[in-house]
Amino acid sequence: MVQGKEKEEKKKFFFNDTATTAIYTLSLHDALPIYIDMARKKYPLHQFIAGDAGEMDWDNGYDVILINSLLHHLPDDAVAKIAEKAVQALAKGGKVIIQEPLVPGEREWYHRLMMRLDRGNYFRSLSHWKNLFGEAGLAVERTELYNLRIIGIYGYHYLSISFTAASASEFK
């Protein structure tokens, strides 16, 4: 019996502000063309698009959509638009993963200082993130909280949430 080489299944990913290895079909979207130019040079086999993710047309059939450190720069209405586009772009069984900083506690002066130094003006609580994406039709699959270190010092409380498509009835 001769065994043939199994066909390697390619997954389709939509990443924001992130790049990965060549075994995936990768679309990287960023609003700043300079970052797109840098990514094109480093990963010439991938597709890179400069533009506003809330306004551009998205492909569909993505297994994973990763949105990393973008949404705290956008108001709720822009985040809601991106969340709705993500739902429409997912393949069956696909996931949306967001990674964002959290609003620090009132007494966490250092974390609040870091928040003020960040260019993002829309730091949100965990429940706020869940509600924004839940209203778009996504259900929380997994939540991880961690501290992001900057030069060895804790800079932000960070959050990674994995969402899956859910029926609208789950949010009523």
> Mean per-residue pLDDT for 84-93?
90
What is the per-residue pLDDT across 107-156, written as a single tens digit (0 to 9) for each? 888 888 888 888 788 999 999 999 999 999 999 999 998 887 777 777 78
List the structure tokens of 22.
């060549």
Note the CATH architecture for domain 12-171: 3-Layer(aba) Sandwich (3.40)
Is the pLDDT at 163 greater than 90? The verdict is yes
The share of the chain scoring above pLDDT 90, in percent, equals 29
Mean model confidence pLDDT for the chain = 77
DSSP state of 116: H
Query: How many C-beta atoms surround the C-beta of residue 31 within 10 A?
Result: 14
What does the pLDDT average to over 157-162?
A: 90
Counting runs of H as helices and runs of E as strands, what totals does the chain give? Answer: 4, 7
Is 168 or 76 the better-scoring residue by pLDDT? Answer: 76
Query: What is the pLDDT at residue 32?
Result: 67
Helix axes 126-135, 76-89, angle to 10 degrees: 50
Question: Region 156-162: what's the mean pLDDT?
Answer: 88
For the chain, the distance separating the N- and C-terminal CA atoms, rounded to the nearest angstrom, is: 56
The predicted model scores a pTM of 0.74
The domain limits of the chain are: 12-171
Q: What is the pLDDT of residue 24?
A: 44
The whole-number average pLDDT for the span 26-43 is: 72
Angstrom distance (rounded) from CA 143 to CA 171: 18
Average pLDDT over residues 75-102: 92
> Rounded to 5 degrees, what angle do the CA atoms 112, 32, 96 make?
70
Q: Report d(CA 114, CA 153) in Å as an integer.
A: 11
- How far is it between the farthest Cα atoms of the chain? 69
Report the distance separating Cα 89 and Cα 65, nearest Å: 9
